[in-house]
Amino acid sequence: MTDTLRHGIEWLALAIEMVAVAIMVAFVVFGTLRWLVQSPRDMAQAYKRFRLILGKALLLGLELLVAADIIRTVTLDATLEGIATLGALVVVRTALGWALTVEVEGHWPWQAAARDEAAPASEAHPVQRDRA
């Protein structure tokens, strides 16, 4: 692999990581400001929206960080040690993602489809209702 290509891939992975961090920071700031403005009116509802915004931002950030790690490892560090490290990072980040999904949505990721299929069209998830 040429040095130019290697540097380009490294910069791409770094750019994806920077985007992930920027998204998480931006939504923490946005969510906090929105919560501060809305909390005097309806504290309980504002807090629920705040947690939802933060949870979704963290999930998106984690997914982008995993993508950057995969790109970097597969293209630049395809050694047994690099792949083992990638595997550990993916397991940890996947577990964090599942924990955040349970916290935000109140169910495991694989339970959403079964719940939506069992619910009548009027009670289904909004996206499922639109398709019906």
pLDDT band at 85 (very low <50, low <70, confident <90, very high): confident
At residue 98, the 3 state secondary structure works out as helix
Residue for token pair 């998480």: 24
Number of domains in the chain: 1
Is 42 contained in some domain? Answer: yes
**Does 77 fall in a domain?**
yes
Asked if the structure places residue 11 within a domain, the reply is yes
What does the mean pLDDT of the chain come to?
82
Residue 9 counted as domain residue: yes
86 — pLDDT class (breaks 50, 70, 90): confident
Judge whether residue 118 has pLDDT over 70.
Answer: no
Looking at the domain assignment, is residue 114 inside a domain?
A: no
Task: Tell me the C-alpha distance between 75 and 9, whole Å.
Answer: 8
pLDDT reading at 132 higher than 60: no
Report if residue 94 sits inside a domain: yes
Domain that holds residue 60: 3-105
Whether 82 is covered by a domain: the verdict is yes
